[in-house]
A and B are shown apart, each in its own frame.
Chain A
Amino acid sequence: MSRALKVSHILLLLAALAVSARAQDVPAAGARPLPASAFELDGFAGQVVLVDFWASWCAPCRLSLPWLNAMQQKYGERGLQVVMVNLDHKPGAAAKMAAEIAPGIRQFEDPEGVLAAQYELEGMPSSYLYDREGKLIASHIGFLKTEREPREDELAAALNRKEP
């Protein structure tokens, strides 16, 4: 291998490292889940935010994953931000599951249940819908297939709501 080729490889490697370091600064969908301490609702100002608490051992939570991903794909451009907070004690398998089923959604990990305790969850899954001003406009406990349509209507209405 010539010296010039080696140098170019090193430069490429450095460039890739710089890009990955920058990506960690701004948490993106599909990236590695962030700790619960990094969760701030204010960070999504101006967007309709659906915060969903889930766990891999919870059957209705698993049922909701494809729907949540579909909603993010469908309404993301209009300002919807789905945020999933995983509550598994050992979040490794859950992170893999979320990356496979809901790759377009921002993920947070809360193995100690700190955020869950703050929200005083009463069941699994629990979701909270905030409007563009950060005001809580709806909350749901559990997930049924029959709820998909009314829940989507609720999201669409929140997105259509004019700012005061």
Chain B
Amino acid sequence: MRVKQTVGAGAIVILLGMTGSGLTGCANLGVKPWERDLLAEPGMEIDPDVIITALDEHIYFSKEASTGGLGTAGGGCGCN
């Protein structure tokens, strides 16, 4: 009986530990505003060449009679 109780208590402690780490595990993720230098580089832009994208959009519009959906401007620094 005592062995069963010890195992049960141990399981609860492990469960609480896993739940706690699950809740706080993502708390420190993310890039701080002052750490976005690499994200702000031109190579990180979704649209690396505005002119080529404009041409693609024009061709797409001419063929399909619809436009948009090819990404947005700006890098990832969150300050533009």
For chain B, what secondary structure do more than half of its interface residues adopt (helix, strand, loop), or is it mixed?
loop
Question: A-facing mask of B29-67, CB < 8 A → 1, else 0?
Answer: 000111111001100000000000000000000000000
Answer whether residue A79 sits at the interface, using C-beta atoms and an 8 A cutoff.
no
Whether A124 lies near B80 (C-beta < 8 A) is: no
- B58 CB, nearest partner CB in chain A, Å: 27
Whether B32 lies near A116 (C-beta < 8 A) is: yes
- A143 CB, nearest partner CB in chain B, Å: 9
Q: A59-B80, A124-B77 are in contact. Are A113 and B34 (CB under 8 A)?
A: yes
Report which B residues bind A (CB closer than 8 A).
Answer: 32-37, 40-41, 77-80
- A sample of 16 cross-chain residue pairs with beta-carbon separation below 8 angstroms, ordered by A number, consists of A53-B34, A55-B34, A55-B37, A57-B77, A58-B36, A58-B77, A58-B79, A59-B79, A59-B80, A61-B79, A88-B37, A113-B32, A121-B33, A123-B78, A124-B34, A124-B78
